[in-house]
Amino acid sequence: MEAAHETADWRDWFEAYGPKLLFCARQWTRSLADAEDVVQEAFVRYWRHQRHLPGDPQALLITSVRRAALDLARREGRRAVREEKADGGLEEREAYFERIPCEGDERRAEIEVALRRLSPEQREVLSLKIWQELTFEQIGETLGISPNTAASRYRYALAALREQLEPLCHG
């Protein structure tokens, strides 16, 4: 009976946190497939070893996803550099958002370009604040920075996005 209860628990947790974690992982990985692998690895690591730790479960999960993504990046670092040199950086990037045909496709593409132009640090904080709904204190804990630094990066990210997207709104 205990095993059945454990299975239901992790499935409920994964259903609740999985989509947000995947979006989060997507910013730290080169592809959707890598992001899915990272989320799976991080979630298993969390569920087996960290779920009983004190603290906010979502922040712990995000930290676990980030670490798994960094581990993957280190493992694939040399290969990625070789591939980028071979194709001159022309590799097509996968979209952040699911591609569903609609009237806003052009606007979504503009937003994705603007997001890619942000520094990785700004994009990371923006993602954690908006899509993961973390506080600046939680973001600081997750990234190992002060809450004030997290808030500054968020403000700078919003200002940069506003500057990039505003001409599109008035044009």
- pLDDT at 78 > cutoff 70: no
- Choose between 100 and 14: higher pLDDT: 14
Name the pLDDT band for 152 (thresholds 50, 70, 90).
Answer: very high
- pLDDT at 90 > cutoff 50: no
pTM for this prediction: 0.56
CA dihedral 7, 28, 131, 128 (to 10 degrees): 100
Quote the pLDDT of residue 159: 92
Query: Out of 33-47, 98-112, 129-143, which region has the weakest mean confidence (pLDDT)?
Result: 98-112
- pLDDT at 128 > cutoff 70: yes
Q: Are 141 and 60 in contact (CB under 8 A)?
A: no
- What is the percent of the chain where pLDDT is above 90? 13
Going along the chain from its start, the domains and CATH numbers come out as: 11-89 (1.10.1740), 103-171 (1.10.10.10)
Q: Are 103 and 31 in contact (CB under 8 A)?
A: no
- Choose between 36 and 9: higher pLDDT: 36
Give the residue-averaged pLDDT of 78-107: 57
What mean pLDDT value characterizes the chain?
78
Name the pLDDT band for 149 (thresholds 50, 70, 90).
Answer: very high
**Kind and range of the H or E element at 55?**
none
- pLDDT at 168 > cutoff 60: no
Nearest CA to 168 among 90, 89, 87, 114? Answer: 114
On the 0-12 / 13-18 / 19+ scale of CB atoms within 10 A, 157 is: buried
